[in-house]
Amino acid sequence: MDLRHFFDGQQSRENAASAFLATLLEYDDEFRRRFLALAPVAPPLDDSLIWTIKVEDNEPWTTSLPDVEAGSGTIDITLRSASTVVLIENKLAPSAKRHGQLRRYYEAATGTWHDKRIVALYLAPTAHFGDSEVKLVEMCDAFVARRAGPAGADDAGSVSWEDIHAIIKDLSNEGRWFADTGMNAVQAAIDEAKYILSTEGQRGVVRDIVQAARESLAANAVGVRFGPWRGRLYDVIYTAKAPITMFLGTHFAAESVPPFSVVGVVADDGRVRLTISTTFALSPKGRKSHALVSEWARLLKAGSVKVGGVGEFRLQDGKTFVLREAFDGTANELVDLLVARGTDVLAFLSPYFALAVDAAGNTARLQLGDGQP
């Protein structure tokens, strides 16, 4: 068996890598012991403690975090014991680094666990990638005050996927397919992220189409910010800072080695052939609204929903509604179709946006225009 398929497709490779690491930490005693010993903190983390491990932790302690980006309200992995909380922020790509992100998570954690030791770890491809983020934690007022106080044991440090790879290679247990294939997939994602995807050739055609659709949607959907989400096999639009995250975009074939050229998408006659994928799910921000969570549960229980003008979205992974469709047409037709899909889905989601209320008591705003820029 091989875990590589967990890193394919539209799902976040960082989320998949975090889930992979959390699984090793929870179920492989030797790996957990060596990982905790690896953390550059003093005193060392104690493997004799009983640890509870969570992925994409968005429980109430994160509610004080500013929503500076999609998904910013969740820490990738937490390990909790009776005396210690370990925060792990995981990055696979240099472009994913966000200034002060680890510090914000640390400060939020100290506001909740006053009497526990808080250890903040930045996990990145190489050893020193996260040093600047660690330094921001060490310089913040909460860290300085707690280090000088009775607890005195808070700490922060950088850990690399290179270190994790070394641990996995030395594991003594048999049947290591999970650790080996998962690490291979993580390394492949890291290697891919090193390269800036070229906008030449067929990828450039797709990039222009999706960009035109994003600009049109942004001009007609007041209260929503649309961001790009790009990878070797997809070019997607997503709703940032929204209570419901919609992903709308294109999926295609591409070469598996640099420069990862897109293949088989643009025909000689200029027609474009690819897959359109439209998905939506409750976001970390949306999960903070009790009214929205309650109403969203009805959709999840139904298992599928029909969106007027689009079709039937089926529930996958227990939380995401998905519709995929093949496309064969001109570039202009694809732009129009993406805009139509986005507009229709946002119209369907509009009542749910209205249920979301932020910490200041403001209702999420979503106003659709008349289709004119």
pLDDT exceeds 80 at position 210: yes
Residue 348 and residue 213 share a domain: yes
Domain count, the chain: 2
Inter-residue contact 194 to 258 (CB < 8 Å): no
Residue 29 and residue 72 share a domain: yes
Residue 347 is part of which domain span?
201-368
Residue 219 and residue 161 share a domain: no
Residue 157 and residue 240 share a domain: no
Cross-strand bridge partners of residue 87: 78, 120
Which pLDDT belongs to residue 69?
37
Q: How confident is the model at residue 372 (pLDDT cuts 50, 70, 90)?
A: very low
pTM: 0.62
pLDDT tens, residue by residue, 142-185: 999 988 866 568 999 999 999 999 999 888 766 688 888 889 98
The token pair at 17 is 């890598």
The token pair at 12 is 């976040």
pLDDT tens, residue by residue, 310-323: 999 999 888 899 99
pLDDT tens, residue by residue, 229-244: 888 889 999 998 889 9
Is 373 inside a domain boundary? no
Residue 29 and residue 67 share a domain: yes
Distances (CA, A) of 356 to 200, 241, 287: 41, 12, 9
Query: 159, 192, 225 — which closes off a domain?
Result: 192
DSSP state of 362: P
Residue 264 and residue 174 share a domain: no
pLDDT exceeds 90 at position 275: yes
Out of 30-39, 182-191, 325-334, which region has the weakest mean confidence (pLDDT)?
182-191
pLDDT exceeds 50 at position 106: yes
Which pLDDT belongs to residue 223?
81
Residue 237 and residue 117 share a domain: no
Backbone angles phi, psi at 291, to 5 degrees: -65, -45
Which pLDDT belongs to residue 241?
80
Residue 212 and residue 182 share a domain: no
User: What mean pLDDT do residues 102-118 have?
Assistant: 90
Q: Which residues of 159-191 are buried (b: 16+ CB within 10 A; e: fewer)?
A: bbbebbbebbeeeeeeebebbbbbbbbbbebbe
Distance CA 92, CA 72 (A): 16
Query: 192, 212, 247 — which closes off a domain?
Result: 192
Query: 192, 219, 254 — which closes off a domain?
Result: 192
Which pLDDT belongs to residue 287?
82
Residue 170 and residue 55 share a domain: yes
pLDDT tens, residue by residue, 18-73: 999 999 999 999 999 999 999 999 889 988 999 999 988 765 454 444 433 333 45
DSSP state of 62: G
Residue 240 and residue 92 share a domain: no
Residue 131 and residue 14 share a domain: yes
pLDDT tens, residue by residue, 281-311: 998 788 888 899 999 999 999 999 999 999 9
pLDDT over 70, % of the chain: 86
Residue 230 and residue 100 share a domain: no
